Amino acid sequence: MRLWSILLSLILTALPMQASADSLAAYQSRAEQLLRILAAPGGESAFFSTLFLDAVPVDRWRAIAADLRVQHGEPLSLGAVRTDSATAGQVEIRYERATVGFTMVVAPQAPNLVVGLHIVGARTANDNMDKVMAEIAVLPGSTAFAVARLGNDAPELLHVHRADAQMATGSSFKLYVLAELARATSARERRWGDVVPLGPKSFSGRLMAWPDHAPMTLHSLATTMIAESDNSASDTLLTALGRAKVDAVLAASGHAEVDNALPILTTAEAFALKMPANADLRQRYEGAAPPARRTLLRDSAARLTADKVDVGSVAEIPTAIDSIEWFASPRDMIGLLDWLRRHGGDALPILAVNPGIAPADAKRWRYLGYKGGSEPGVMAMNMLAQGQDGAWYAVSGSWNNPAARVDEGRFVALMTRALNLLAE
């Protein structure tokens, strides 16, 4: 599971308090007790507030603590404790194989019970990039991974595992849509404030429930598409910008196997093609060249809409991930990220809204942009990062398994380790 995304905290807004010696001592005491609470079940009611336990019951907390022990070994000692105020700060716990960071908030009144706790990241002990790549390489199914330094010339690959393998990348394709929007606004063909009606809608994402044809700016659609991976936003933008222009970004950014990846499908088209009722269309699509595929999409548009998708049928089992997908290699994605670095302009802040990893790990970077993708059997993560020294890097990894769902939390942890090592 994604440790950084498990919300263990209730966010409390309080007036700033001057940290007194007594309050700092109380915070330190709770930090020391956290080590014991993580090591073994028991004592939760004397450590957490009732408000916290209402949101995260004891059984749920114990499962989370046990999962941490499975992943990182036994908690051994208290590490750094940093206080931001009388009641809030960061606590590090040293496990056998990693140091795990938490944000912790305690009540200002005695007995200063813990009202908020949030896992913000883990650093693996004695880690290195070779270990990360070795763990990625043995994941079930197939994997590909690359790290590159970016500069004035072509990306310089630093660490690679099957960097040229064409992989299913899920919603990573939305980076191509963002790149075309960046190009069009730079060329003054479009403006970020241009308004277009929402639609065609697709399943998944909050815009699916918005009013039909709601007026939205291109900037709002792009932000929702990237930060939330909203499918209605991406399909609306792909349609508004024009599929041919978005397709052209593949060649412009250096995609190595353009014919294998074109045309770029809307999310509704992709999942409608996966439906058993459209097996005939899928068979024709899989064997066709890009021009014939475009004709098929146009002539079969009425059969390839979101309302034709039975989401339940593709929610648990990998379906046609080797044929009806968005394909790219890590080298391709790094080329695209480098294109965005050079030409993205106002697209770069959009790319940084959701960094894809824990906030504490993301803060190691001066800039961190992210877009990934996932569905049953598919996981991809793509990061554009600028170090504190100003150096630029791109990291791209994909994991495909046509036989079973992939462990998304495990892959996030591996990619986070790679970024943390790169930031050191």
The residue type at 70: V
Q: What's residue 49's pLDDT?
A: 96
Same domain? 228 vs 366: yes
- Is residue 13 within 8 Å of residue 89, measured between CB atoms? no
Q: Measured between alpha carbons, how far is 117 from 131 in angstroms, rounded to an integer?
A: 30
pLDDT tens for residues 151-160? 999 999 999 9
Average pLDDT score over residue span 282-306 = 96
Distances from the Cα of 176 to the Cα of 99, 154, 163, 181, 335, angstroms? 37, 19, 19, 9, 11
Same domain? 251 vs 143: yes
Q: What's residue 20's pLDDT?
A: 56
Is 181 inside a domain boundary?
yes
Is 305 inside a domain boundary?
no
What CATH number is associated with residue 213? 3.40.710.10
Burial class (CB in 10 A: 0-12, 13-18, 19+), 128: exposed
Which of 100, 124, 148 is the C-terminal boundary of a domain?
124
Q: Measured between alpha carbons, how far is 361 from 136 in angstroms, rounded to an integer?
A: 20
Is 406 inside a domain boundary?
yes
How much of the chain is in helix, strand and coil states, percent to nearest 5? 45, 20, 35
Same domain? 156 vs 90: no
Same domain? 143 vs 258: yes
Burial class (CB in 10 A: 0-12, 13-18, 19+), 319: buried
Give the chain's radius of gyration (CA, Å). Answer: 23
204-209 LR contacts (CB < 8 Å, sep 24+): 204/230, 204/231, 204/267, 204/311, 205/229, 205/230, 205/231, 205/232, 205/233, 206/230, 207/232, 207/233, 208/232
Is 282 inside a domain boundary?
no
Same domain? 96 vs 171: no
For residue 228, what are the contacts with CB-CB under 8 A and spacing of at least 6? 205, 206, 354
pLDDT tens for residues 16-72? 334 456 778 899 999 999 999 999 999 999 999 999 999 999 999 999 999 899 888
Element (H, E) at 382: strand 378-386
- Is residue 124 within 8 Å of residue 97, measured between CB atoms? yes
Same domain? 87 vs 41: yes
> Where do we find the tokens 């064997």?
287
Peptide bond into 211 cis (omega under 30): no
Same domain? 199 vs 213: yes
Same domain? 98 vs 66: yes
- Does the pLDDT value for residue 1 go beyond 60? no
Same domain? 84 vs 163: no
Q: What's residue 14's pLDDT?
A: 35
pLDDT tens for residues 318-364? 999 999 999 999 999 999 999 999 999 999 999 999 999 877 788 88
- Does the pLDDT value for residue 368 go beyond 70? yes
What CATH number is associated with residue 17? 3.10.450
Same domain? 97 vs 180: no
Tell me how many domains the chain contains: 2
Q: How confident is the model at residue 284 (pLDDT cuts 50, 70, 90)?
A: very high
pLDDT tens for residues 369-413? 999 999 999 999 999 999 999 999 999 999 999 999 999 988 998
Is 294 inside a domain boundary?
no
Is 349 inside a domain boundary?
yes
Is 313 inside a domain boundary?
no
> Which residue range(s) make up the domain with 158?
129-265+324-423
pLDDT tens for residues 173-193? 999 999 999 999 999 999 999
Number of residues that this document lists for the chain: 424
Q: What's residue 348's pLDDT?
A: 98
Same domain? 21 vs 70: yes
pLDDT tens for residues 193-244? 999 999 999 988 999 999 999 999 999 999 999 999 999 999 999 999 999 9
Which of 80, 104, 124 is the C-terminal boundary of a domain?
124
Is 185 inside a domain boundary?
yes
Which of 124, 147, 173 is the C-terminal boundary of a domain?
124
Same domain? 162 vs 239: yes
